[in-house]
């Protein structure tokens, strides 16, 4: 048999005022850096997409009604899904 004595549950007093962390751990928080590359890529995509959708307008008269309907449906779909 082992002679080591394990602490019993009766030795520890726990109530609603007892800290859940040790005093040394409470003030230590790791800084989590922002994912700057992913944010930059998303901002670039948000900038490029409207420019690309508007750049087709000079060619509408050359191609005709089909392209006009396509652009209209794209803009309606985009405005409904952006919210």
pTM over 0.75: no
Averaged over 51-62, what is the pLDDT? 73
- 17-52, pLDDT tens digit by residue? 877 766 665 566 777 889 999 999 999 988 887 787
Instruction: Write the burial class of residue 67 (CB in 10 Å: 0-12 exposed, 13-18 middle, 19+ buried).
Output: middle
| pLDDT for res 28 | 64
- 61-74, pLDDT tens digit by residue? 666 777 778 878 88
**How far, in Å, CA of 15 to CA of 73, rounded?**
62
Residue length, the chain? 83
């Amino acid at each position: 048999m082992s002679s080591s004595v394990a602490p019993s549950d009766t030795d520890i007093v726990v109530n609603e005022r007892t800290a859940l962390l040790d005093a040394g751990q409470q003030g230590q928080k790791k800084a989590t850096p922002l994912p700057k590359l992913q944010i930059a890529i998303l901002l670039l995509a948000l900038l490029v997409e409207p420019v690309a959708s508007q750049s087709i307008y000079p060619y509408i008269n050359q191609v005709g009604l089909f392209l006009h309907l396509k652009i209209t449906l794209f803009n309606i779909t985009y405005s409904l899904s952006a919210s």
